[in-house]
Amino acid sequence: LIEVAFLVWFVCRGRMATSVSLRRLCPAARRCTRRLSSPVMVSQERMKQFMHAELSYFQQRQPKPMKLEQIVHTSHPFLVARLVHTELPIRFAARIKHVESWPNWEQHKDLVDIHTIFCESFQSLRLINLKKSDLQEFTDVIYDIRRRHKAVVPLISRAMRSMERASILEEEQWSPWADQFLLSRISTEMLTAHYIECAESHVLGIVDAKCDPAQICQQAATKTLDAFRTGSHDPPVWIEVEQPPHAEKIEFSCIPQYLSYIVEELLLNSTRATVRKLDSHEHPSTRPLKVTICADQHQVAIKISDKGGGIPYGSSDRVWSYLYSTSPPPLESEREMVRVGSPLSGSGMGLPLTRLYARYLGGSCELMNMPGIGVDVYLFLSRVNPKENIDTDQEC
């Protein structure tokens, strides 16, 4: 407090270089500057010191678990903005602490870049002044954060593979670290996506209380087929989406875009395997991909079956590893696949990330390998009670 008081005295004499309102900084600064009516000038170095103090303060706080009910009912743009403005700095501070928990993280450029990304996002949120009458500046900050954070998953993937090549990475050490980091990241991604939907699209946010899994699976199948279509030729794969005969329409509370991410990734993997297995004289209908949707009062289940030959012997136990991939270089048609906004694309970690998204939605993703025939993937999603937590953010 003495340091803060000295800074206030010093800046009030007009001898600092950078203008910023200290009221937006840490609680200690706000208490000492409560009588100031205008912004004061601070140097970049002093700002850095204050941000470090601010970060230390927020790292001592715990994120509040999010309930689906809270997300559904918080749909007014300002209320969502206030929630995001309150929660994201805590979560970003936790992610920064998580990066710093990795041994010698400063020696790994990709981890340093991730650390910088979260520090920049933390600072931008702490310096923004939330105005109920005009949320445009805050919206711009959220868009910047979302653009900035698109690099996080590829950077993590690159960091892992770089350390693996240098023989300084143990799977037992890295996997829990990555699981916690990436699962927690989903919650921040969800909050920013929810805000953008409410602020820009004037809808009730990203949760759909009547999400139709059959429709989502059909859309994902169409998208996959289009991706593998070459010119005027039909795609070299056959996808069937089905429900049990005479079954009632399935609807449940879910985040549709996350379910789409999962199904698209699973279909992409199955389609890739099927196309590579298909002989030139075979018709795609001889090796169809089948998507089956069913449900009871407790859960929704989606099964994706392919006849792509299965996973190589000895590899089925490693398919969930962040460091393992059964995929050879992509086909030309795969490079055309546009999956805008999907956090699973381009990371090389699609399958383990798919399982994390399933866990976030209160479900699970399991795989059954049939050697020489194909793979059956089972996606189970709970019919989430709106009053239950969907946020699994836990801090180290």
Rounded-to-10 torsion of CA 134, 12, 125, 393: -130
Which three-class secondary structure state does DSSP give residue 123? helix
On whether both 253 and 171 belong to a single domain, the answer is: no
Beta bridge partners of 389: 67
Are 193 and 303 in the same domain? no
b/e sequence 294-306, b meaning 16+ C-beta within 10 Å: ebeeebbbbbbbb
In this structure, are 249 and 373 located in the same domain? Answer: yes
Q: What pLDDT, on the 0 to 100 scale, is given for residue 279?
A: 76
Give the end of a domain, one of 201, 220, 245.
Answer: 201
> What 3-state DSSP class applies to 370?
strand
Residue with tokens 């099927």: 274
- Band (pLDDT 50/70/90 cuts) for residue 165 is confident
Per-residue pLDDT at 205: 83
Structural domain includes residue 8: no
Task: Please report whether residue 346 resides in a domain.
Answer: yes
Same domain membership, residue 360 and residue 223: yes
Three-state DSSP state, 106? helix
The number of helix segments (H) and strand segments (E) in the chain equals: 13, 9
Task: Based on the fold, state whether residues 220 and 289 are members of the same structural domain.
Answer: yes
CATH number at residue 230: 3.30.565.10
Comparing 374 with 171, the larger pLDDT belongs to: 374
Residue 73 lies in a domain: yes
Residue 392 has pLDDT above 60, yes or no: no
* Residue 48 within a domain: yes
Q: Which amino acid is at 90?
A: I
pLDDT at 26: 54
Give the whole-angstrom CA distance, residue 254 versus residue 231.
Answer: 36
Q: Domain range holding 314?
A: 208-330+341-382
Residue 250 has pLDDT above 60, yes or no: yes
Say whether both 166 and 313 belong to one domain. Answer: no
Average pLDDT over residues 252-264: 94
Q: pLDDT tens digit string along 132-154?
A: 889 999 999 999 999 999 999 99
Q: Are 217 and 291 in contact (CB under 8 A)?
A: yes
pLDDT of residue 2: 40
The CA-based angle 4-7-11, given to 5 degrees, is 145
CATH number at residue 66: 1.20.140.20
In a domain, 142, yes or no: yes
Separation between Cα atoms, residue 229 and residue 233, nearest integer Å = 6
Angle at 320 between CA 208 and CA 253, to 5 degrees: 10
What is the per-residue pLDDT for 21?
47
How much is the pTM?
0.81
Asked, for residue 349, whether it belongs to a domain, the answer is yes
**Residue 256 and residue 170 share a domain:** no
Q: Considering the domain boundaries, does residue 4 fall inside one?
A: no
Residue 5 — very low, low, confident or very high, per pLDDT cuts 50/70/90?
very low
* Whole-number Å distance between alpha carbons of 42 and 69: 42
Q: Which residue has the tokens 């996606």?
A: 379
Q: Are residues 228 and 158 in the same domain?
A: no
Per-residue pLDDT of 329-381, as tens digits, reads 444 444 344 344 456 555 568 899 999 999 988 899 999 999 999 999 999 99
- Its sign, for the CA torsion 178, 364, 354, 317, is positive
> Is the CB of residue 262 less than 8 Å from the CB of residue 366?
no
On the question of pLDDT at 315 being above 90, the answer is: no
- pLDDT single digits (tens) 18-27: 444 444 555 5
> What sign for the dihedral angle of Cα 302, 308, 309, 312?
negative
Q: Is residue 38 part of a domain?
A: no
Structure tokens at 54: 């601010």
Residues 104 and 178 in one domain: yes
- pLDDT of 291 above 80: yes
Task: Compute the mean pLDDT over every residue in the chain, rounded to the nearest whole number.
Answer: 81
What is the residue-wise DSSP string for 353-365? Answer: HHHHHHHHTT-EE
Q: Percentage of the chain with pLDDT > 70? A: 79
> pLDDT tens digits for 30-79?
544 444 455 666 677 887 888 889 999 999 998 887 777 677 778 889 99
Question: What letter would DSSP give residue 67?
Answer: B
**C-alpha distances out from residue 365 to 119, 189, 268, 361, Å:** 33, 21, 15, 11
Whether 146 and 264 share a structural domain: no
CB atoms within 10 A of CB 311: 19
Question: Tell me, what's the pLDDT at 347?
Answer: 58
> How many structural domains does the chain have?
2
Which of 184, 201, 218 delimits the end of a domain? Answer: 201
Closest CA relative to residue 237, chosen from 267, 271, 207: 271
**214 and 260, same structural domain?**
yes
Kindly provide the residue ranges of all beta strands, DSSP E only, lying in 145-288, ordered along the sequence: 208-211, 239-242, 252-254
Residues 135 and 167 in one domain: yes
Q: What is the pLDDT of residue 257?
A: 93
End-to-end CA gap in the chain? 29
Confidence at 168, pLDDT banded by 50, 70, 90: confident
Last residue of a domain, one of 167, 201, 235: 201
